[in-house]
Amino acid sequence: MTLRGRLGALAMIVALLLAASVVLLLASRTAGCAVAAPRPSLAPVLRALGDFDQSYDVTDVATLDDAAARAAGALHTDLIGATPQDAVAVAAAQPGAPDAVVVPLRSPAPSSNGEAPLVGLVVFLRDCQGGAYFDTVEDDAALQPALLQFPSVTSEQAALRLGSTALRLAYTTSPLRPEWVTAAPPARSLPAR
């Protein structure tokens, strides 16, 4: 076989492999999902710890809580020992933006009124398959007045103020600043924090 023939055969093989790759990518996408898997931009300390560039299963509460506590303690030493609380789902208000899961962290020491304040919030962004990717940690240890719950406005309080029980927690710019939004007309909202 001549050099020209070999190059032609090689070009044909490369074209077939490329076509097969495109077909596999199209077949593996999730129908109706326009949210790309969020890829974290990790601080060197989190890269050193490892596993923060992967997705977490939000139904595996122990693993998600462990990841939240380790990330918070690594990025903010005053959050070491904080106890993860129940994760809060926050929907994205804009199409194409990822939904989020926020894990509140409670102080191990109670305050003067007896209730331990929240000292931090850890955000995970979700992809179409429900995987949660680490996004950020907010250090609220020095916040005054102290944060006692997330979101600060409960769904019951929001229902009274908005006159509707059909509510969802959603964010526009940051999952750390969500709003309670009515699910039925007329559309109204109330800052949840």
First to last CA, the chain: 73
d(CA 86, CA 106): 10
Positions in the chain short of pLDDT 50: 24-31
Instruction: Confirm if 139 and 80 have CB atoms less than 8 A apart.
Output: no
In the three-class reduction of DSSP (H, G, I as helix; E, B as strand; rest coil), residue 79 is classed as: helix
For residue 94, what are the contacts with CB-CB under 8 A and spacing of at least 6? Answer: 172
pTM of the shown model: 0.79
Distances (CA, A) of 114 to 139, 140, 145: 21, 18, 15
pLDDT in tens, 159-184: 999 988 899 999 999 999 999 999 88
Average pLDDT of the residues of the chain:
86
145 upstream amide cis, omega within 30 of 0: yes
CA proximity to 28, closest of 131, 98, 129, 96: 129
pLDDT in tens, 5-28: 777 776 677 666 655 555 544 444
Strand partners, 191: 179
pLDDT of 30: 44
